[in-house]
Structure formats: C-alpha cells, structure tokens
C-alpha cells in the first residue's frame, strides 16, 4: 500500500505529521505535507489511515496495488 | 433580550429564513457564550438563515456549508467583511485579500509559522510560561485571564517581533482596548494608536533589521526586487497583532476553565506529559470543542447557494463552534472525548485562508499546559467564578477566570 498527497489541496494543517510522524512531515517553506515514506510498512497502516482520515482538506489518500 | 421593534430585512430574504439573532448578545443567565450558537441549532433554526441584527447578515449552521464558505473564495470573499459593517476597514494582509493576490503575503509569512519554525520557538515559549506561572504559583490563586492568558500571547508577539519586554504594558493596553471597547471614538483612536506603534516598529526594523518577523516583513522584496508598499507592511503587522492575541487568550481561558472543573481531564493530561502524541490528540479535542472564533465572508455576486438566494455584498458569519459539533460529521459531538480518533474540526478554518498561526497557537497552549501542570497539578474554580463573566462576538471568551489551588 502507498499513501499519496494532493499538494494543491494541502493547506498545512499538519495533522498528518502530528498523528504519524514516521510517514509524514511538513516542508520548511509553506508547511505543506511531505510524504517521507510513501510505501509505508504494514505495522504503520492504522496510523497512516488515521492521518488520512484526519486531513481537514481531504488531501491524502491510500492507493492500493500497482504503482501509480 | 426582547426587542420592541424589528429592523427590516432586504426583500430578497424570504420570511421563513429570518431569525432574530444577535451574536454579541449573551444573556446574563448564559455562562458560556458558545451556548447562544448551540441554542440556535437546538431551537431548530434553518441551516442557512438571515438575521437583521448587526447590519443584517447570513448565518450558516452546517459543517459542509461552513467549510464551503471558507474554501470557495469566488463566492465568499474575505475582503472588507466586518459585521456590523465598518468601512473602510483595514485590509489585513493576507487574511483580508482573496487568492491569487493573497498568496504574496501568505508566502512571505508562511516559513515563519510552519511546524518546523514553531518547534524552534519552543524553548522560548517554555521559558516564558515557566517565569509567568512561577510568579503567582506560590500565592495559591490567580485570575487566569489577567495574570496569564492575556499576557502570554502578547509577550510572545513582542518576542517574535523583536520588541523589548518593557513595552508589554503598552501592547497589553492597545490589545485590551481593541478587543473590548465598543465605543466608536475610542475604537477609532485605538486603531490609529496601533498603526502608529506598528509604523514606528517597522521603521526601526527597516533601519536596523534583526532576525525577527518584523524585520523579515519590512526587508522583504517583491519579484521585481522592490520593497512592498508601506501600507501593506503595516496591514500585515496589524493582522499578526489582531490574530494572535485574543484568540489564544480566549482559547486558553476555555481550556483552563474546563480543566478546573474536570479532575479526570487534568489527570488525563498529567499522565501524558511525556507522551507528545497522546497529548496532541487530547489538545486537538479541546481545540474542537472550544472554537472561539467565528469568521466573516462577503458574497461576491448574486447567486443561489443550497437553494438560498444570496445577493452581492451580503455578509455571512461562519460559526466554527457549530461546525465542530455537527452530528453529521462528529460522533457524540457535544461530549469531550480526549481520545477522539477522527477530528476534522474547523477551529482554524480550512481552505486558502486557514489560520497560519495555528501551529504557534497550539504550541503556546501545549507548552503552557505542560508547564502549568508540572507546577500546579490540581486547581479549581474560585467560588465567585462559577457564574463567569463572558462576552460574545466574533471572538468569544471570558473577561475573568478566578482559579484556586
């Protein structure tokens, strides 16, 4: 599984970084999401899902299966 | 309050969408100003209604409509929005400007308020919190508003702007008048005073720049390599002054009021002082339930929105506290769940104008709470504070919160 961000929707709430810093960070210029580990390990799935569901802009999603 | 007369509503508003509602009016028996908003929902007010009060304006009550109000700047502009209307109103940069012009100052300010930038401020905030709390901890009581919540964010503002601590009383006075005075002449003089102080500050920083936010703003160059217009620089300073003081003061006061009356919540935070992730989840829930600001927008053109006819220049208020307790989005929305898993609250807005200072605001609250609980682990409301002394308006809060420990 892979997590992807639509950076044009991201407004820098940084909830993803708060909830799952293992996968998400924010940049130093606009504070927008940076996905440091798009192919996250299975043990982080629950945390990643929580981060995705907590994005107020709906900018994150989990893509299954084949490479994008 | 009962009105003897009804101001007339514009003819494009159907009678069944009119509700007599004044968001400044908190009846004496209401101890918490957010209640006036939730009473609207409880009484079955239409999800989009018009009130003739305060110059006449619309009120949105559904989460998704409020979010649309924030996101869709082509219909809902942030330019010249005050309710009641004040024209001309200072054009706050970048809050009072719509995209794409809005992006210029947003991009200039953004790097100074990212999570990374705020993490670098943490030590300074911890020091400020510790010194302030230590100054009254031994006395066993305080007025949280006067002794902490109003001082802490103003002191933080001074530090970020590279201003000496000695000017704190002067800035506190300016802020107090700005946020509390209802006298038109006093307000006009206060605005002139604030702009005069900002003007002096930016001139000094232009001549002797430091590494602070004021220096960064005043020395910045546009794409053609020219300094920004002086009025824009002042308006940017004005926004940072207005946005970062009262909102933090009132949110803190709500949070401490809740903790003072809820031993389990104090224990919850105390047990998680060394677990930043769990601490943040709980803070986020307090941000949801204690949304103190309600923002304004102005309709850009005649249009239909969710079947309601809006006319150009109509004002709209977006009550965050109502959005944050919409049962179609939040499970058990009226109860405080410090472990709430999904929490897409709109306390800091959403869309292009999302509060840029949100990370700093949250960090001010997190640091304050950590330092407070280490020094004052148990506290309660003083008996005389039970009734509270609150105010409504665009930013809601309490004028006083007496605590004992």
* pLDDT per residue as tens digits for the range A42-51: 999 999 999 9
Whether residue B262 has pLDDT greater than 90: yes
Global confidence as pTM: 0.94
Q: What is the pLDDT of residue B128?
A: 97
Please tell me the predicted confidence (pLDDT) of residue B95.
87
Q: Could you report the per-residue pLDDT of A30-67, keeping only the tens digit for each? A: 999 999 999 999 999 999 999 999 999 999 999 876 55
| ipTM greater than 0.90 | yes
Mean pLDDT of B5-15: 77
Residue in A with minimal Cα distance to B63: A56
Q: What band does B8 get if pLDDT is binned at 50, 70 and 90?
A: low
- CB contact under 8 Å between A11 and B359, yes or no, is no
Q: B336-372 pLDDT, tens per residue?
A: 999 999 999 999 999 999 999 999 999 999 999 999 9
pLDDT at B80: 86
What would the mean pLDDT of B385-401 be, rounded to a whole number? 83
pLDDT of residue B148: 98
- Chain A partners of B354 at a C-beta cutoff of 8 Å? 11-13
Residue B393: the pLDDT is 86
The answer to whether A56 contacts B116, with C-beta atoms less than 8 Å apart, is: no
Residue B388 has pLDDT above 70, yes or no: no
pLDDT at residue B90 is higher than 60: yes
Shortest distance between the Cα of B277 and any Cα of chain A, in A, equals: 7
- Best probe of the A interface among B115, B119, B366, by most A CBs < 10 A, is B115
Task: Compute the average pLDDT of residues B91-101.
Answer: 88
Residue B7, pLDDT > 70, answer: no
**pLDDT band (50, 70, 90) for residue B5:** very low
In this complex, is the C-beta atom of A22 within 8 Å of any C-beta atom belonging to chain B?
Answer: no
Q: Judge whether residue B189 has pLDDT over 60.
A: yes
Query: pLDDT value at position B112?
Result: 95
How do residues B283-300 score in pLDDT, each as one tens digit?
Answer: 999 999 999 999 999 999
pLDDT at B335 over 50: yes
Average pLDDT along chain B: 93
Is B111's CB within 8 Å of A13's CB? no
Strand B315-319 relative to strand B57-60: parallel, antiparallel, unpaired? parallel
| Chains A–B, number of C-beta pairs less than 8 Å apart | 59
Q: Which residue of B has its CA nearest to A19?
A: B277
**Which residues in B lie closer than 8 A to residue A15 (C-beta atoms)?**
284
Mean predicted confidence (pLDDT) in B65-74 = 97
């Amino acid at each position: 599984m892979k997590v992807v961000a639509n950076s044009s929707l991201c407004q820098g709430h940084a909830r993803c970084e708060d909830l799952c810093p293992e996968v998400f960070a924010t940049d130093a210029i606009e504070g927008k999401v940076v996905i440091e580990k798009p192919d996250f390990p299975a043990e982080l799935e629950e945390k990643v899902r929580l981060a995705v569901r907590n994005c107020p802009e709906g900018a994150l999603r989990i893509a299954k299966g084949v490479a994008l | 309050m009962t009105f003897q007369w009804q101001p007339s509503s514009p003819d494009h508003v159907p009678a069944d969408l009119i509700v007599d509602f004044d968001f400044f009016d908190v009846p004496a028996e209401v101890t918490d100003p957010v209640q006036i908003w939730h009473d609207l929902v409880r009484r079955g007010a239409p999800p989009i209604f018009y009130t003739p009060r305060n110059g006449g304006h619309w009120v949105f009550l559904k989460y998704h409509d409020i979010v649309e109000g924030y996101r869709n700047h082509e219909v809902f502009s942030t330019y010249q929005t005050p309710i009641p209307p004040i024209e001309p109103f200072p054009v706050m940069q970048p809050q009072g400007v719509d995209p794409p012009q809005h992006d210029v100052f947003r991009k200039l300010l953004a790097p100074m308020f990212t999570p990374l930038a705020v993490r670098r401020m943490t030590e300074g905030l911890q020091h400020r919190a510790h010194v302030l709390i230590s100054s009254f901890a031994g006395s066993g009581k305080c007025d949280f508003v006067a002794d902490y919540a109003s001082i802490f964010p103003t002191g933080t503002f001074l530090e970020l702007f590279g201003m000496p601590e000695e000017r704190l009383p002067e800035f506190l006075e300016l802020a107090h008048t700005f946020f509390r005075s209802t006298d038109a002449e006093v307000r006009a003089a206060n605005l002139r005073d604030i702009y005069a102080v900002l003007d002096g500050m930016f001139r000094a920083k232009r001549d002797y720049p430091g590494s602070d936010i004021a220096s960064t703003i005043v020395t910045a160059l546009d794409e053609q390599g020219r300094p920004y217009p002086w009025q824009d620089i002042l308006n940017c300073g004005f926004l940072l002054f207005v946005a970062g003081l009262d909102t933090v003061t009132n949110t803190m006061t709500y949070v401490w009021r809740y903790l003072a009356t809820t031993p389990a919540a104090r224990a919850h935070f105390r047990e998680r002082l060394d677990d930043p992730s769990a601490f943040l989840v709980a803070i986020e829930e307090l941000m949801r339930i204690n949304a103190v600001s309600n923002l304004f927008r102005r309709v850009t053109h005649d249009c239909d929105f969710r079947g309601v006819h809006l006319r150009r220049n109509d004002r709209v208020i977006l009550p965050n506290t109502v959005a944050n307790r919409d049962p179609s989005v939040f499970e058990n929305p009226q109860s405080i769940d410090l472990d709430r898993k999904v929490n897409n609250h709109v306390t800091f807005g959403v869309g292009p104008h999302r509060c840029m200072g949100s990370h700093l605001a949250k960090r001010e609250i997190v640091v304050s709470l950590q330092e407070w609980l280490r020094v004052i682990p148990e506290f309660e409301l003083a008996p005389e504070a039970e009734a509270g002394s609150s105010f409504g308006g665009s930013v809601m809060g309490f004028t006083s919160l007496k605590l004992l420990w």
